[in-house]
Amino acid sequence: MNLPPRVTARAFARLAEIAEMTGEKKALRVAVEGGGCSGFQYDIKLDEAAADDLVIEGDGQAVLVDQISLPFLANAVIDFSEELIGARFVIENPNVASACGCGTSFSI
């Protein structure tokens, strides 16, 4: 059964921190677009909601997924990771068949 993506408390907490630092509250848009060396790549940015977006809310924050990207992100988990190499939003996506060595593109 395909479920919409799930967003972790860590990801919502980081969005709240960003809103506090910038002074403006924007949602995190997670999209899948064609490109990269494996065929698809994620586009993650702060954005405003569109009429047909799936809006996932938590902790006073929102994550947006457009209708075209939704099937590619079914059952995925959107998280925030802080490691020695840097901090970033990450997507654990069970639909990915393979990913490239650079870690930014994937195939389904």
> Residue 18 carries which side chain, given as an amino acid letter?
I
3 state DSSP class of 71: helix
Average pLDDT on 43-59 reads 95
What is the phi/psi pair of residue 72, to 5°?
-70, -20
- Is 96 part of any domain? yes
- Is 91 part of any domain? yes
- Is 43 part of any domain? yes
Cα gap 75→3, rounded to integer Å? 5
Cα gap 28→46, rounded to integer Å? 5
- Is 12 part of any domain? yes
Q: Taking the model in full, what pTM does it have?
A: 0.87
- Is 26 part of any domain? yes
- Is 1 part of any domain? no
pLDDT in tens, 61-102: 999 999 999 999 999 999 999 888 888 898 998 887 767 665
Nearest Cα to Cα of residue 58 among 24, 22, 7? 7
Q: Say how many domains are in the chain.
A: 1
pLDDT in tens, 2-44: 789 999 999 999 999 999 999 998 999 999 988 776 678 889 9
Nearest Cα to Cα of residue 53 among 70, 41, 38? 70
For residue 12, what are the domain limits? 6-107
Cα gap 62→30, rounded to integer Å? 11
- Is 52 part of any domain? yes
pLDDT for res 61: 96
The CATH number of residue 95's host domain is 2.60.300.12
